[in-house]
Amino acid sequence: MKTQYVHPRLILGTSSLYRRELFQRLKLPFETANPAIDETPLQDEMPEATALRLAENKAHAVAAMYHDALIITADQVAVMEGIQLGKPLNYANAVKQLRLMRGKEVIFYTALCLLNSRTNRLQTRLVPYSIKFRALSDPQIEHYLSKEQPYHCAGSAKSEGLGIALIEWMKGDDPNALIGLPLIALVDMLLAEGVEII
C-alpha cells in the first residue's frame, strides 16, 4: 500500500487576489500571508533586479513569521523603452500609462521566489513576458477604464479581463507570468523541494 504523502506547509506571500486564484489551479493546500514590504525601486536599479529583489524581500519577510514552510512570493515590473511602469493606483495615472503605451511593446518581468524557511534554500526565477498594445484612441482608453479599474496592475491592464482587447500580441513562455505568478516555473521549484503535484 502506498504511503500517504504529506505536503509541507505552503505559504503564498501575497495580498493579490489574482496570485491566489492562480495558485489554486495547482490544487495544493496553502495559506496566504501579506509580506507588507517597501516596494520602492532603488535609484539606478534595473527593472529585472527590482523585481527579483522585491520577490526575495517578500519571501524573507514572510519567513520571519513561518519557520518551517515553503514560502512562495512574486513581484512584477513593467518596462517600456527603458521606462519602468508601476501600478497606476488611480484613473488619471492609468490614462497616462495607457496613452504612453499605445502602439508600443511592454515587457513584464515577473520574479518568482521559493524559500524553504526550514533549510534557507532559496530558488528564484525571472520570467519575462512581452505585450504589444494596440494603437488605442483616447475614447477607447477611457471606455476601457470605465469598464475595468486595473489601478493595482502594473501597466494599467488586466489580460485576464477586458484588457485582452487592448493587446495586439503577446509573447512568452508562461501566460500566467503576465497575471503575476509563473506557474510553470513554480511547478519546477516545488518539484525541486519534493512537493508532489500530480
Q: For 134-171, what is each residue's pLDDT tens digit?
A: 999 999 999 999 999 888 887 888 888 888 999 999 99
Q: Is residue 147 part of a domain?
A: yes
Question: Where on the phi/psi map is residue 82: left (φ > 0), alpha (ψ -120 to 50), or beta?
Answer: left
The active-site residue out of 44, 68, 75, 138 is 75
In degrees and rounded to multiples of 5, residue 87 shows phi and psi of -75, 130
Range of the domain at 184: 9-193
Whether the CB-CB separation of 178 and 108 falls below 8 Å is answered with yes
Q: What is the largest CA-CA distance in the chain?
A: 64
Query: Hey, how many other C-beta atoms are within 10 angstroms of the C-beta on 192?
Result: 12
Q: Is residue 188 part of a domain?
A: yes
**pLDDT score for 6:** 59
Helices assigned H by DSSP within 15-133: 17-24, 47-63, 91-101
CATH value at residue 62: 3.90.950.10
Q: Is residue 4 part of a domain?
A: no
**pLDDT score for 186:** 97
Question: What's the structural domain count of the chain?
Answer: 1
75 counts as catalytic: yes
Q: Is residue 37 part of a domain?
A: yes
- Closest by Cα among 169, 149, 52 to 104: 169
pLDDT at 1 over 50: no
